[in-house]
Amino acid sequence: MQAVHTGTRPPRFSHRSPTIVALLVVWWVCCLVIAPFWGVASAQTTGSQPVFSIQAPPGLVGATRAAGPGPVANYFQPVEIRGPHGLQIAFADRNGFTEFHNLPVTVGLLVGRVYRLKVAGIPQAEGVELFPSLEVIDRLYPPPGQERHFPIIVELHPDDLRLATAGKYVTRVIYLEDPQQALPVAEGNSGQLWFEVRPDQDPLAVADALGRPLVIVRLGGRIPLPEEESDPAFLFGSPPLVVFPPKVKVLPGPPSRNSPATLPQPTPEGRRP
Amino acid sequence: MNGSVNRTDGETGMSPWLRLLLIAICTLIFCSCRTVSQDTAQVAGRPPLPSPDAKTAQLAANSVFNPVQQVAYSGGDVGSANSSTVGAAEASDRGSPLTVAAPSVPPPIQGPIYVDAQGNVLPRGTPPGVVTGAWTPPGIAGPWPQDEFLADGGDLPPFAGLAENGVTGINPEDTVARFQTADGKSRVQPFNRVFIYSPRFASVRQVAGLRANEQAEKVMGVSTPTHMARIEEVQSVGMGTQNYQARAGVQRRGLAIFQSGQRDGAVSQALGPRGFSDAFKPYENFSLIVKGQMVADEMPTLAQSVQAAVAWTADSQVQVVVDGRAASEEVGVSRVHSLYRVQSRYGESKLRLVKVASTATALPGETVDFTLRFDNVGTVPITDLLIIDNLSTRLEYVDGSSQASKAVEFSVQPNEAGSLTLQWRLTEPLPPGEGGIIRFQCRVR
């Protein structure tokens, strides 16, 4: 006996619709679960997209390393800041900046935090102040008791200061050389060895290929207004740091040629100043 | 009629397992869509789950200034603190996350922290001129990263092998000895590795201008309604062809024979028995180095001298291949020295090699003394002893610093690492029970 059809014709696969709906729901759930991991996995396997680049916001690379394995978090890594003669730096404080320190100065900085510096006494640019930032992204593991003797060396090059005062934005990544890939040349009097990369290259990736990146120095760019110097956002929250006493006594600079020659006046202790 | 009824049931009803499956899936969806708010997680004192997105977002939030995060460092007053160190524990206490900023909470710790000679934290406002003393970081446990150490000695792959008049497979940092046993066979044996903590830094600079972030936009296309109306041009013949008879073939060939001039690249120097000057240095004050006698009490100290990074000793096990026959290691003291014996019908050839360095840490520019001690602890003489030290990239040999207690021919050659390969060849056989010392200096680059 033929079935009696009413009004509309039923779908052709109507008896399979629950199964299809169930399968679609399962497929959708699977996609929902797998999707967040798909991009990460593909990026890690292909390597086409680095995990971090120098374009990341300040603090992201170091905070990630601080959250990683090993005794990295909350470690004050000694950093020695060097610069040309006469250069002075101040560190971010609660309401601005501290007093100026002569270079070289050794400080202990937290890994993963960003520190705002104030640089004055720039050669051939008297009166100009720069506000570089310094981010420690990894630490050293010296033998116990040798921590202060082997700080990370951060040099503020005169050329960098000159470019920054001219309006350029200088990014410098200090890395630990791999002994197997180290250049067979001595450091000499010119200071630290360094390379220049093109603007389209990532200095963090280049430094990672040559060794282990440790510090990112960002210099130049916008100079804040006077009222912005105490802005916590500009100071990156003024994270704590440890100032170490200088290992050598910093002597005053040579007298100016224009100033008249004066005899040294004896001090009450009977010593020359 | 039955078929219609069955089709109707299939449209509106489900089998029990399908219903259960849908219920389970819906339950799973609703449970998975429930998220924990950031505030709730922070109040509970725990960070959010380390899913990739959440972790990145949290790190990004921590990376920039966040008022809530500033309150997180409000654990104590620096002025009243009297801790001996400013280390991980104190910072960790300060770093406990808090989100409720009560009025009684002390202000956050910002800016520098000064310590006195005893390591105590000074009150804020203390002039930095009076700050003296050292700072002690938290304890560091190994293993230490190898990229902070300079290594010299041992035999890295590809391993050293015998050559016609020397040794092949000498890599940078390798230090090996080649000698001949009484039965006329040659052997190659490495020294132990010495590690010196000497990190060196370099930097990569990138300069960007203000125009670096500008984007140049271009038009999608240009419509040019004009076109050529007509082409009328008659070109004359620009090329003539004429047949010429070939007289000779001309072709380029590579060099079949070339001559190269061998310059005096090697510097030879003969040191007599009296060439070894100076008394023993402090770091050589071991019976094993001075007298060639093993003293059990000195083994721990000697181990520290030859292995600055003991954690890497396992990776620097000595290897030796003796004409396809592995030499047997003597005793379990290979951390300090290398000792191998080769049994033959003429007797037992045993050569003990020890290498020590004057310091375990060095800054670039400093000088490090190396001492090689070799002893024939076998029963037959050892002839044709050749000791090779291939310096690493960052070690620069100090000219004229080589000394030897035996008559040796000393030569230096540049290696592929940009440094030098040092070679000492004993001119006389080494009788049983005798040994010698080779000393040289390197400057850390």
Residues B179 and B382: their CA atoms lie apart, in Å, by 6
Residues B431 and B345: their CA atoms lie apart, in Å, by 17
Q: Please indicate, yes or no, whether residues B45 and B80 belong to a single structural domain of this protein.
A: yes
DSSP letter at A4 equals: P
Provide the pLDDT for residue B342. 55
pLDDT band at A29 (very low <50, low <70, confident <90, very high): confident
Q: Please indicate, yes or no, whether residues B302 and B408 belong to a single structural domain of this protein.
A: yes
DSSP letter at A256 equals: P
Interface contact A150-B203, CB threshold 8 A: no
Interface contact A183-B393, CB threshold 8 A: yes
Q: Is the dihedral of CA A28, A29, A31, A32 positive or negative?
A: positive
Interface contact A71-B88, CB threshold 8 A: yes
Residues A138 and A175: their CA atoms lie apart, in Å, by 9
Q: Please indicate, yes or no, whether residues B46 and B187 belong to a single structural domain of this protein.
A: no
pLDDT band at A173 (very low <50, low <70, confident <90, very high): very high
Among A181-190, A228-237, A243-252, B85-94, the range of highest mean pLDDT: A228-237
Is the CB of A88 inside 8 Å of chain B's CB atoms?
no
Task: Count the Cβ atoms, other than its own, within 10 Å of residue B434.
Answer: 15
Question: Which residue from A64, A93, A153 is facing B59, i.e. has the nearest CB?
Answer: A64
Evaluate whether residue B334 is within a structural domain.
yes
How wide is the angle at C-alpha A257 spanned by C-alphas A253 and A259, nearest 5°?
A: 90
Evaluate whether residue B175 is within a structural domain.
yes
Residues B209 and A164: their CA atoms lie apart, in Å, by 10
Question: Which residue from A21, A143, A242 is facing B197, i.e. has the nearest CB?
Answer: A143
Average pLDDT of chain A to the nearest whole number: 77
Residues A34 and A46: their CA atoms lie apart, in Å, by 18
Q: Please indicate, yes or no, whether residues B73 and B119 belong to a single structural domain of this protein.
A: yes
Among residues B83, B99, B130, the one where a domain terminates is: B130
- Report the gap between the CA of A144 and the closest CA in chain B (Å): 7
Give pLDDT tens digits for A68-93. 777 788 889 999 999 998 899 999 88
> Which residues make Cβ contacts (< 8 Å) with residue B359, sequence separation at least 6?
B196, B283, B366, B368
What residues in A contact B106, CB-CB < 8 Å?
A: none
Beta bridge partners of A91: A117
Is the CB of A67 inside 8 Å of chain B's CB atoms?
yes
Evaluate whether residue B228 is within a structural domain.
no
CB-based burial label for B347 (10 Å; 0-12, 13-18, 19+): middle
Evaluate whether residue B257 is within a structural domain.
no
More confident call, B300 vs A175: A175
Determine the residue of chain A that is closest to B149 in CA distance: A179
Residues A189 and B104: their CA atoms lie apart, in Å, by 54
Beta bridge partners of A220: A169
Interface contact A75-B22, CB threshold 8 A: no
How wide is the angle at C-alpha B373 spanned by C-alphas B372 and B375, nearest 5°?
A: 145
Q: Please indicate, yes or no, whether residues B160 and B99 belong to a single structural domain of this protein.
A: no
Provide the pLDDT for residue A267. 52
Q: Above 80 in pLDDT, residue A104? A: yes
Determine the residue of chain A that is closest to B26 in CA distance: A25
Whether A220 contacts A163, CB under 8 Å: yes
Helix/strand/coil for A241: strand
- Report the gap between the CA of B260 and the closest CA in chain A (Å): 26
Interface contact A185-B208, CB threshold 8 A: no
What residues in B contact A242, CB-CB < 8 Å?
A: 86, 112-115, 135
Interface contact B144-A153, CB threshold 8 A: no
Q: Please indicate, yes or no, whether residues B51 and B173 belong to a single structural domain of this protein.
A: no
Evaluate whether residue B208 is within a structural domain.
no
Provide the pLDDT for residue B104. 44
Evaluate whether residue B82 is within a structural domain.
yes
Per-residue pLDDT of chain B (445 residues; tens, 9 = 90+): 444 444 444 445 567 888 888 888 888 877 665 444 333 333 333 333 233 333 333 433 343 333 323 222 223 333 333 333 333 333 333 333 333 333 344 444 455 555 444 445 554 444 443 333 333 334 444 455 778 888 888 888 778 888 777 788 888 888 888 888 777 788 888 888 888 888 889 999 988 876 545 555 666 776 666 666 666 666 676 666 667 776 776 666 554 444 444 444 444 433 333 445 556 777 777 777 777 777 777 766 666 655 543 333 333 333 333 333 334 444 333 334 555 555 555 667 778 888 888 888 888 888 888 888 888 888 888 888 888 888 888 888 998 888 888 888 998 988 877 888 898 988 888 888 888 889 898 988 8
Residues A57 and A73: their CA atoms lie apart, in Å, by 19
Task: Count the Cβ atoms, other than its own, within 10 Å of residue B410.
Answer: 20
A38-52, A96-110, B270-284, range with the lowest pLDDT: A38-52
Bond preceding residue B158 cis, omega within 30 of 0: yes
Could you give phi then psi for residue B89, rounded to 5 degrees?
-65, -45
Q: What is the ipTM of this complex?
A: 0.71
DSSP letter at A51 equals: S
Residues A91 and A104: their CA atoms lie apart, in Å, by 14
Q: Please indicate, yes or no, whether residues B112 and B179 belong to a single structural domain of this protein.
A: no
Q: Please indicate, yes or no, whether residues B55 and B190 belong to a single structural domain of this protein.
A: no
Domain containing B93: what range?
39-130
Interface contact B203-A174, CB threshold 8 A: yes
> Which residues make Cβ contacts (< 8 Å) with residue B299, sequence separation at least 6?
B333, B336
Determine which helix (DSSP H) or strand (DSSP E) holds A193, and give its type and residue range: strand A193-196
What residues in A contact B87, CB-CB < 8 Å?
A: 74-76
What residues in B contact A235, CB-CB < 8 Å?
A: 65
Query: Which A-chain residues 221-260 have CB contacts (< 8 A) with chain B?
Result: 232-233, 235-245
Number of domains in chain B: 2
Provide the pLDDT for residue A79. 94
Interface contact A187-B107, CB threshold 8 A: no
Question: Which residue from B53, B145, B361 is facing A36, i.e. has the nearest CB?
Answer: B53
Q: Please indicate, yes or no, whether residues B170 and B49 belong to a single structural domain of this protein.
A: no
pTM, rounded to two decimals: 0.56
Q: Above 90 in pLDDT, residue A154? A: yes
Helix/strand/coil for A22: helix
**Torsion of Cα atoms, B61 then B73 then A174 then A78, to 10°:** -170
Q: Please indicate, yes or no, whether residues B158 and B124 belong to a single structural domain of this protein.
A: no
Residues B203-242: b if buried by 16+ CB within 10 A, e if exposed: bbbbbbeeeeeeeeeeeeeeeeeeeeeeeeeeeeeeeeee
Residues B350 and B330: their CA atoms lie apart, in Å, by 9
Provide the pLDDT for residue A172. 92
Residues B349 and A207: their CA atoms lie apart, in Å, by 49
Provide the pLDDT for residue B144. 57
Interface contact A172-B204, CB threshold 8 A: yes
Backbone angle region of A235, left / alpha / beta, with phi > 0 → left and psi within -120 to 50 → alpha: alpha
- Report the gap between the CA of B267 and the closest CA in chain A (Å): 21
Residues A63 and A56: their CA atoms lie apart, in Å, by 11
Q: Above 90 in pLDDT, residue A216? A: yes
Mean pLDDT for A205-217 is: 90
Structure tokens at A215: 């510090």
Question: Which residue from A144, A182, A199 is facing B394, i.e. has the nearest CB?
Answer: A182
- Report the gap between the CA of A127 and the closest CA in chain B (Å): 23
Structure tokens at B440: 């040289």
Interface contact A74-B18, CB threshold 8 A: no
Residues B328 and B26: their CA atoms lie apart, in Å, by 68
pLDDT band at A153 (very low <50, low <70, confident <90, very high): very high
Q: Please indicate, yes or no, whether residues B94 and B195 belong to a single structural domain of this protein.
A: no
Among residues B102, B130, B158, the one where a domain terminates is: B130
Residues B3 and B9: their CA atoms lie apart, in Å, by 10
Among residues B130, B165, B189, the one where a domain terminates is: B130
Question: Which residue from A110, A176, A198 is facing B201, i.e. has the nearest CB?
Answer: A176
What are the angstrom distances between the C-alpha of B286 and each of B175, B293, B302, B328?
A: 21, 9, 7, 26
Provide the pLDDT for residue A71. 79
Residues B272 and B407: their CA atoms lie apart, in Å, by 5
Comparing CA positions, the residue from B203, B61, B363 lying closest to residue A134 is: B203
Evaluate whether residue B239 is within a structural domain.
no
What residues in A contact B205, CB-CB < 8 Å?
A: 160, 170-172, 194-197, 203
- Report the gap between the CA of A258 and the closest CA in chain B (Å): 31
Q: Please indicate, yes or no, whether residues B191 and B49 belong to a single structural domain of this protein.
A: no
Evaluate whether residue B259 is within a structural domain.
no
Interface contact B200-A187, CB threshold 8 A: yes
pLDDT band at A109 (very low <50, low <70, confident <90, very high): very high
